């Protein structure tokens, strides 16, 4: 080998080594997703139901101001998720199909709770985490048996079978913590529980289950049942079932038509209590947290209440982020299952070019800390097929960089929860 050839080969080797080093450093930088860059033990998955980029930006302006940032947007890793189902009738998802993609890694038809297109039950993350020895829990401002939490802990061909979903919680998957609304589905018709039938806020609400007294059955399985904020605060010990309303923890109507969001227990409070209970498990835990009001009020084109629900979600994210900051083996993921309302954020000075009804502008809403305002402009009262942002913190957070299908959530979380 000539000296010139040797020098050239050495230069190539050095260049390759430098490139490899930069690639390694790049990987390390990408993995710098907050404390806990090692092995993950816990997962907190937070769903702003119906929340996409426009909802997050409206919340930022309203809650944090022009130069402010939401906690959910300060998580160090960000990306995008697609939301399309595998429904033969539509490319736009509902919450059931979207959550099934998260919970099972398979896309399915709208209305399905963790079953395949042929009706075959699919293994869920909640059940698999439990089988791996982890504690599990769900927290929501919807019914605890609503589509999104149900997909992680039940299998049904139709999301409407909420009493069957409750039965599966108690008898099959047995989440350690179940907190939210929906007492109506846990009791047989005519047998009101802590919340009376036909309340003034909504005369249609009443006990309607067909699987017996599932609250009594849950107690027999070792759950402590609570129905008020005070009872939740005083609850002790192991498994916990808390139902704080007949149905959702709010009334989802158009503005000024009986709409209300005055939850008996806040999402942040339920999240904090769930974490304090689940963290006792030395093998780790999986917690699903959901703010349902974003979607429900967007369906009603009710911007004021939607922003209120986004504020409640943000408070719960703070609880989760603070927990992860002191428990570096915890992954926090914040995203939405789909967008609702076809929302955009507009200047209040422009004329309303989009029409009336479900296309009307909503507002004005103040930009915090300024004299400025903005409008919300709706294009539909239903879901849309746009991508949703995802932000993450903790070990494996870097896996959410870039654009992915919604099944990617399952693929990442399963690496933590099922080993």
Kindly list the catalytic residues: 95
Secondary structure in 3-state letters for the chain: CCHHHHHHHHHHHHHHHHHHHHHHHHHHHHCCCCCCCCCCCEEEEEEECCCCHHHHHHHHHHHCCCCCCCHHHHCCEEEEECCCCCECCECCCCHHHHHHHHHHCCCCCCCCECECCCCCECCCHHHHHHHCCCEEEEEEEEECCCHHHHHHHCCECCCCCHHHHHHHHHHHHCCCEEEEECHHHHCECCCCCCCCCCCCCCCCCCCCECCCCHHHHHHHCCCEEECCHHHHHHCCCCCEEEECCCCCCCECCCCCCCCECCCCCCHHHHHHHHHHHHCCCCCCEEEEEEECHHHHHHHCCCHHHHHHHHHHHHHHHHHHHHHHHHCCCEEEEEECCCEECCCEEEECCCCCCCCCHHHCEEEEEECCCCCCEEEEECCCCCEECCCEEEEEECCCHHHHCEEECCHHHHHHHHHHHCC
């Amino acid at each position: 080998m000539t000296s010139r050839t040797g020098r050239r080969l050495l230069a190539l080797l050095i260049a390759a080594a430098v490139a490899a080093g930069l690639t390694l450093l790049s990987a390390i930088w990408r993995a710098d997703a907050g404390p806990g860059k090692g092995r993950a033990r816990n997962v907190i998955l937070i769903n702003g139901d119906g929340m996409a980029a426009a909802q997050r930006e409206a919340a930022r302006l309203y809650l944090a101001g022009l130069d402010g940032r939401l906690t959910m947007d300060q998580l160090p890793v960000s990306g995008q998720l697609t939301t399309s189902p595998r429904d033969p009738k539509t490319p736009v998802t509902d919450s059931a199909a979207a959550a099934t993609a998260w919970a099972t890694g398979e896309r399915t038809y709208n209305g399905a709770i963790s079953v395949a297109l042929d009706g075959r039950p699919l293994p869920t993350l909640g059940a698999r985490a439990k089988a791996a020895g982890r504690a599990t829990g769900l927290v929501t401002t919807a019914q605890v048996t609503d589509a999104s939490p149900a997909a992680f802990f039940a299998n049904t061909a139709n999301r409407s079978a909420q009493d069957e979903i409750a039965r599966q919680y108690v008898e099959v998957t047995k989440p350690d913590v179940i907190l939210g609304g929906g007492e109506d589905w846990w009791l047989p018709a005519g047998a009101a529980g802590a919340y009376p039938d036909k309340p003034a806020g909504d005369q249609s609400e009443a006990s309607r289950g067909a699987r017996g007294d599932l609250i009594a059955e849950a107690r027999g399985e070792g759950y402590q049942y609570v129905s008020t904020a005070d009872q939740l605060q005083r609850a002790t010990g192991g498994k916990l079932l808390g139902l704080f309303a007949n149905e959702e923890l709010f009334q989802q109507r158009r503005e000024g038509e009986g709409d209300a969001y005055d939850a008996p227990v806040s999402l942040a409070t339920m999240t904090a209590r769930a974490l304090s209970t689940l963290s006792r498990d030395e093998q780790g835990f999986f917690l699903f947290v959901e703010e349902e009001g974003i979607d429900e009020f967007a369906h009603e084109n009710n911007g004021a209440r939607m922003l209120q629900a986004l504020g409640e979600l943000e408070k719960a994210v703070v609880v989760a982020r603070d927990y992860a900051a002191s428990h570096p083996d915890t992954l926090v993921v914040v995203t939405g299952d789909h967008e609702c309302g076809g929302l955009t954020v507009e200047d209040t000075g422009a004329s309303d070019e989009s029409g009336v009804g479900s296309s009307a502008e909503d507002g004005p809403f103040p930009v915090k800390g300024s004299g400025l305002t903005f409008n919300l402009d709706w294009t539909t009262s239903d879901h849309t097929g746009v991508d949703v942002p995802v932000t993450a913190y903790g070990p494996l957070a870097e896996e959410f960089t870039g654009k992915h299908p919604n099944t990617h959530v399952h693929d990442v979380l399963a690496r933590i929860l099922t080993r």
